[in-house]
Structure formats: C-alpha cells, structure tokens
Amino acid sequence: MNILVINAGSSSLKYQLIEVETHEVLAKGICERVGSAQSFHKHGIDENERVIDAAMADHTEAMALVLEALTSGPTKVIDSLEEIDAIGHRIVQGGKYFPRSVLIDDEVIQKIDELAELAPLHNKAALMGIEACQTKLPGKPMVAVFDTSFFQTMPPKAYMYPVPYELYEKYDIRKYGAHGTSHRYIAERAAAFMDEPLGDLKLITCHLGNGCSMSAIDHGVAVDTSMGLTPLDGLMMGTRCGAIDPAIVPFLMEHEDLTPAEVNDLMNKKSGLLGISGISNDLRSVREASEAGDERAQLAYDMYSNSVKKYIGQYIAVMGGVDAVVLTAGVGENCEKMRRMIFSGLQPLGMVLDLEKNKARGGEREISTDDSPVRILVIPTNEEFMIARDTFYILQERQLAEELDLSTRTNLT
C-alpha cells in the first residue's frame, strides 16, 4: 500500500511516498519558500536528489508539482495517482482531542483549526496541506497524525502548570508536548534493539535536533516530556530558549519595550545556541567556533549539554530508575562530542559511555560499554514511517469495521 506522507510548514511542503508493507521509500522531497519568488522544489533520494526551480504561489500549486514529479518525467515512480492509496498528514497540535491518529473529516479539520491558537504557524500550515490534497487528490482517505498524541497518557501531576486552576478550565493551558511521533518511534525501535518488550522498560528518549525534547517512557507509557503548552518549553535548542524564569518575560517587555509578539519572537528565534553564541543555531558551527577558542560558543555548548543532563536526572527520579537512554535527530545521531559531554560525570547514575563505540556513525547502535548498568542507544528517527504506518492501520481498521458492519447486517436480514 502506497502512502503519501505530508509535512506542511508555513512556507514548505515536505513529502515522502512510502510503500508501507515493504518499508520502501519510493520518493521524497520538499517544496521550499512556497509563496515567494524564490520558491524551489527538491525531489529525489540521496545522490539522485535534484533541485527544480519552480513557481508555487501556494501549497496547492506545490502539491501539483509534487504529484507531477511522482507520475511523470525522469522522477516518475508511479504510473498514476490511483497508485496512491492514502495520505498521512503530520499535525503538530492535537490538544486534548486527539490521543491517537484519526481519519480526517470535516469535524477533525474544524478541531485542528480551533487548536491553531496553541500552535499558530504549524496547525494553519497543516490545514493548507490538507486543503491542497483535497483539491489535487479528491476523495483519497487522509489521516492526521499528531505530535502531541503520544503524550496524552501523562498524568495530571505531569501536565498541569501551577497557575490558577481556572486558567486551565478556561483555556486548556497545560503541557501537551511535541515530537511525540519521534519519541514513540525510537522507544519502539530501542525495545526491539534490546530484544525486550517495550512494556518492561523504563526509557529516557532524547530528540536533539534544531528543536529539542526529552521524554520519560515508563513501561511503554509516556509519563513526562520537556516541551509544554508549546514547543518552546524544556531544553535549550537551536534558536529557542527552552525553560527560563517566567519573570524574565514581563521584565523584558518592560525594559526593552517589547510587545507580546516581539518577546515571543525573541524566545523562539533569537535565543538558544544562536542567542548565547551569537554565531549560529547550527551546533556544527558553534562547535567549530568553540574549538577555535570562542568563549561564548563554548558557553553555548556547555549550557546545551547541561540542559540535557538535568532532564536525564529528572526523569530517573520520575520513573525511579532507567534501563536505557535513547538519542536521536541531527545532534543526537551525529555529534560524538555532544554525546561525550552529556554523559560525562553520569557514571554514578549507571551510564558508562564507550568512547570508541561513540565514534561509530550511522544506523541503530549501542554506545555504552558492555557492562554499563544503563544502556545508551542511538536510534535514527523516522517520523515519516510512523505516519505512514498509522495511516495504514487506520485504513485497515476502517475496512474491518465496514466488513463487520456488513456481516452484522447480513446476519440480521
């Protein structure tokens, strides 16, 4: 079954066409700067990737280019759109309404729109992706896969904020988390790697990319996570500050004469690695500068690793222990030095990094010593595959429900 996975950003449209039963990625690409004069389309896998300059005024035009690339010319992988069985959409915010992925209908679309207040850029963009598919692939079943669903199992003591309870009742202000699809994937893969049931394990999962989040997964159930009402909370990130003293916000508004939107911008786009180093949000550039003696770059590096360390400690306390720490995404998968810094000094907590294994690259791997009481794993994330798989399962469920309904009716007549 071929599933088209769509991840729509405010000015981008990322996609993969996945044959879900064989796990094969048939095609992938991204339309960038959608709506601007500099828009372009990158299509293809690894060395076959090609960049096509193409004008796309909106997501629907971008979608038309994607479908054309899939079905014609040198990039063709399917004969016709009939060969796309369904579409899976990544949606950032599902609020309290979506503890799992769902088939998209008008009511679901309305709820995603309602929730846009909690993730303004992301949910509105996802809706543009959905609309583009409705226009270009009318009648195809579509499934929404939410970044927040995996964390709907958190207990109230983890998801509530200690602000007046009425605000929770009035605005649903609480922790929702994000990156849930990635955490769910690496937790499942870690259990398979360890050859143990996920339900027997206490895991700390770390998604360390441009956006960073960690979660505590106790016997297969997410019990805490670092991102909050929005993806701004928690760890220090590329450009986001993560958790800071909330009193800094009114202080800055007053002393720097900032509006709420401006202070939000400062915390989301000008902070984190970029804000401290003054050099870049990209850890590679910060690392190079720190190695060349730049003190602020070194400080940014130290703060980032310290931020991860602190959450490891918290989550060991939350779960009363841990069997494995699992790392993923750009930094988690690739940065040997950052991993070394994160785990330095954590031997008393049972985490012993193997410095040689830590240098290996690529694939699912263990980087702790053979006798480390807590295992440390690197698992490359694959959110697209999870979206395709959820879409597949939901279609199977629907088909089963239809068959059951049919057989019940047949029995009744």
In whole angstroms, what is the distance from residue 315 CA to residue 215 CA?
A: 8
Encoded one letter per residue, x for contact with ligand ADP by CB under 6 A and - for no contact, window 218-247 reads --------------------x---------
In the set 334, 347, 358, 369, which binds ligand ADP (CB under 6 A)? 334
Tokens 């293809």, residue located: 44
Least distance in angstroms from the C-beta of 143 to ligand ADP: 22
In the set 128, 324, 335, 379, which binds ligand ADP (CB under 6 A)? 335
Encoded one letter per residue, x for contact with ligand ADP by CB under 6 A and - for no contact, window 76-115 reads ----------------------------------------
Q: Does 10 bind ligand ADP (CB under 6 A)?
A: no
Comparison of 35 and 380: residue with beta carbon closer to ligand ADP: 380
Q: Does 330 bind ligand ADP (CB under 6 A)?
A: yes
In the set 91, 331, 353, 388, which binds ligand ADP (CB under 6 A)? 331
In the set 68, 282, 294, 364, which binds ligand ADP (CB under 6 A)? 282
Sheet holding 86-91, edge to edge: 50-53, 40-43, 24-32, 13-19, 2-8, 86-91, 142-146, 102-103
**Residue 90, token pair as written in the block:** 């990544």
Q: Does 210 bind ligand ADP (CB under 6 A)?
A: yes
Question: Annotated catalytic, 354?
Answer: no
Comparison of 121 and 163: residue with beta carbon closer to ligand ADP: 121
Comparison of 59 and 90: residue with beta carbon closer to ligand ADP: 90
Comparison of 89 and 90: residue with beta carbon closer to ligand ADP: 90
- Residue in 79, 85, 113, 147 annotated catalytic: 147
Least distance in angstroms from the C-beta of 9 to ligand ADP: 10
Q: Does 268 bind ligand ADP (CB under 6 A)?
A: no
319-335 in b/e burial notation, b at 16+ Cβ within 10 A?
Answer: beebbbbbbbbbbbbbb
In whole angstroms, what is the distance from residue 256 CA to residue 286 CA?
A: 27
Q: Which long-range contacts (CB under 8 A, 24 or more apart) does 271-280 make?
A: 271/239, 271/240, 271/241, 272/236, 272/237, 272/238, 272/239, 272/240, 272/241, 272/242, 273/236, 273/237, 273/238, 273/239, 273/300, 273/304, 274/238, 274/239, 275/239, 275/241, 276/300, 276/303
Q: Does 300 bind ligand ADP (CB under 6 A)?
A: no
Sheet holding 202-208, edge to edge: 221-225, 212-218, 202-208, 324-328, 375-378, 365-366
283 and 304 Cβ atoms separated by less than 8 Å:
yes
Comparison of 90 and 202: residue with beta carbon closer to ligand ADP: 90
Query: Which residues are catalytically annotated?
Result: 147
Sites of contact with ligand ADP (CB under 6 A): 209-211, 238, 282-284, 329-331, 334-335
